[in-house]
A and B are shown apart, each in its own frame.
Chain A
Amino acid sequence: MTGPLPRRGVLAGLAALVVAGCSRIAASGPGASLLGAVEGWNRGLHDWLGRRTSLAREFSLEDISPTFRGNGTVAPDGAFYRHHRDTGFRLWTLTVTGLVERPLALTLDQLRAMPQRTQITRHDCVEGWSAIGQWSGVPLTHILHLAGLKPEARYIVFRCADTMGDAPYYESIDLIDAFHPQTLVAHSLNGAPLPVENGAPLRMRIERQLGYKHAKYVHTVEAVASLAGIGRGKGGYWEDRAGYQWYAGI
């Protein structure tokens, strides 16, 4: 080797080359579909390495983090939500609709009178952070049994009262997660009613998946046969817009 190489420049150039190459691959048709197939592989690996029905770890009281970070929408706008917030959510109802035998409209008092579950779990955001909190609420499985799913139902969609940009937030899960014992319609965090930033008055707990699946400000639970035709068809607000994976167990 003669003379000093501008090593930093060479490395930066190589990195830029790889970055540009990857961008072209991702933009191509086969490249995009290959990258899209990865979600299925990862979900398959999870099914193979373990059971989708196993329980997420539950922590003890002393493990709870001092606060619980709110993320995404932390103060929903709009007259509908503001009205309910200002009246203490007394008239908030959870509508259970879609492919069910008996559509329901449940008040918060009715939900609190149902069988309850309390769990202290770790919440993992797709961004990388984690917080631990104690959640109380009604197992979704109880509500679905009351409503009675029709045989063609395949997914449960959660519709939310917060609008981000142009559209209301929504999320969806399959029936394995819907009937999972830790999947809650939660009304309390750390023993108190949900704060607004954490989804008051009702939010989902989909333990074992990332935070964006845990829809907040939930007003409707809808059973559907297909996710096509809901939002832009990918099963969730962020799935539709940013390309986040619908299966968020990884």
Chain B
Amino acid sequence: MNRHALSTRLWHWANAVCLVVLFLSGLNISNAHPWLYWGHWGFAPEQAWLHLPRFPGWMTIPGHYSLAGARLWHLFVAWPFAVGLLLFMLAALVNGHFRRDLALRRGEWRWQAIRADVAEHLRGHFAREGAKFNLLQKLAYGLVIFLALPLMILTGLAMSPGMDANWPVLVDLFGGRQSARSLHFLTAWGLAGFLLLHLVLVLLSGPGRQVRDMITGGRV
């Protein structure tokens, strides 16, 4: 049996490309108005809860300030990102990936087990007997797949005035369009943090085998 299902591998790499392009084009969009607000409205620095830095050209798509160009990239790649997530979720439901590997077991919620997991992690031991993921990994992947990624889609849709007219519940869910925009930004950086941690942990746990298995499928 493969360590990673084909659907998981395809999604992993497609999603990685999508997230990077979405993040870098998003930073270009952020440069258009680098202030964040809560609630329905906000348009001036003195109303902002966060003043953002200007993100330099080497980390934005396009590489120079272009709100129109960045929006084209962002709104284009949002499609494979959203459709890909949906297809991956369906596949992982059908092939049992979620139930087998991500669902939390009762024993894992015990305080002692959590402490032991954290201690093992800090010592650099990531493998867990008899299961693919330990508790921290399940929590991290679970939060990303079921919370952060869907939140990016929903907060993104909530910023669209055309969507808002048809689905006002989107705006209400987040307490206003500007709140949705703030959450979109925060979640994006949360995902960037996850990506960084993910890369560091891959580097610490035999990067050659990890990358190869995510391409070829690997053996259990």
A243 at the interface (CB under 8 A from B): yes
Does A18 lie within 8 Å of B67, measured CB to CB?
A: no
The residue in B24, B33, B66, B162 that gathers the most chain A C-beta atoms within 10 A of its C-beta is B162
Q: Convert A12-27 into 0s and 1s, putting 1 for each residue whose CB lies closer than 8 angstroms to a CB of B.
A: 1001101110110010
Per the bound structure, the CA–CA distance linking A127 and B31 in Å amounts to 9
Does A35 lie within 8 Å of B204, measured CB to CB?
A: no
Chain B residue numbers with a CB within 8 Å of A242 are 66-68
Chain A residue numbers with a CB within 8 Å of B30 are 128
Does A131 lie within 8 Å of B75, measured CB to CB?
A: no
Chain A residue numbers with a CB within 8 Å of B203 are 1
A122 at the interface (CB under 8 A from B): yes
Q: A50-B167, A65-B43 are in contact. Are A250 and B61 (CB under 8 A)?
A: no
Does A57 lie within 8 Å of B164, measured CB to CB?
A: yes
A125 at the interface (CB under 8 A from B): yes
Does A19 lie within 8 Å of B33, measured CB to CB?
A: no
Chain A residue numbers with a CB within 8 Å of B177 are 122, 124, 130
B59 at the interface (CB under 8 A from A): yes
Q: Which residue of B lies closest to A208 (CB)?
A: B165
Chain B residue numbers with a CB within 8 Å of A15 are 20, 24, 58-59
Per the bound structure, the CA–CA distance linking A16 and B55 in Å amounts to 13
Q: Which residue of B lies closest to A25 (CB)?
A: B73
B79 at the interface (CB under 8 A from A): yes
B142 at the interface (CB under 8 A from A): no
Does B163 lie within 8 Å of A46, measured CB to CB?
A: yes
The contact size tier of chain B is 35 or more
B40 at the interface (CB under 8 A from A): yes
Per the bound structure, the CA–CA distance linking A242 and B72 in Å amounts to 11
Per the bound structure, the CA–CA distance linking A126 and B40 in Å amounts to 15
Does A46 lie within 8 Å of B162, measured CB to CB?
A: yes
Q: Which residue of B lies closest to A46 (CB)?
A: B162
Q: Which residue of A lies closest to B177 (CB)?
A: A130
Chain A residue numbers with a CB within 8 Å of B167 are 49-50
Chain B residue numbers with a CB within 8 Å of A129 are 33, 35, 37, 41-44, 178
Does B72 lie within 8 Å of A243, measured CB to CB?
A: yes
How many residue pairs bridge A and B at CB < 8 Å?
150
Shortest CB distance A171–B (Å): 15
Does B24 lie within 8 Å of A130, measured CB to CB?
A: no
Q: A19-B61, A250-B163 are in contact. Are A35 and B72 (CB under 8 A)?
A: yes
Per the bound structure, the CA–CA distance linking A238 and B178 in Å amounts to 24
The residue in A55, A129, A210, A238 that gathers the most chain B C-beta atoms within 10 A of its C-beta is A129
Does A209 lie within 8 Å of B163, measured CB to CB?
A: no
Chain B residue numbers with a CB within 8 Å of A36 are 72
Per the bound structure, the CA–CA distance linking A209 and B68 in Å amounts to 15
Q: Which residue of B lies closest to A210 (CB)?
A: B161
Per the bound structure, the CA–CA distance linking A22 and B17 in Å amounts to 11
Contact residue among A16, A26, A56, A250 (Cβ-Cβ distance under 8 Å from B73): A26
Shortest CB distance B156–A (Å): 9
A side interface size, CB within 8 A: 50
Does A54 lie within 8 Å of B166, measured CB to CB?
A: yes
Shortest CB distance B127–A (Å): 18
Does B62 lie within 8 Å of A250, measured CB to CB?
A: no
Does A16 lie within 8 Å of B58, measured CB to CB?
A: yes
Per the bound structure, the CA–CA distance linking A184 and B61 in Å amounts to 36
A103 at the interface (CB under 8 A from B): no
Q: Which residue of B lies closest to A211 (CB)?
A: B161
Chain A residue numbers with a CB within 8 Å of B207 are 1
Does B162 lie within 8 Å of A38, measured CB to CB?
A: no
Contact residue among A18, A35, A54, A122 (Cβ-Cβ distance under 8 Å from B41): A122
Task: Give me 14 other A-B pairs in contact (C-beta within 8 A), A38-B79, A49-B163 excluded.
Answer: A18-B21, A19-B61, A22-B24, A22-B62, A26-B73, A35-B73, A51-B166, A54-B165, A57-B171, A69-B44, A128-B30, A207-B161, A238-B68, A242-B67
Using a CB–CB cutoff of 8 Å, the interface residues on chain A facing chain B are 1, 12, 15-16, 18-20, 22-23, 26, 34-36, 38, 41-42, 46, 49-52, 54-57, 59, 63, 65, 69, 122, 124-132, 207-210, 238, 242-245, 249-250
Using a CB–CB cutoff of 8 Å, the interface residues on chain B facing chain A are 20-21, 24-25, 29-30, 32-33, 35, 37, 40-44, 57-63, 66-69, 71-73, 75-76, 79, 159-168, 171, 177-178, 181, 203-204, 207
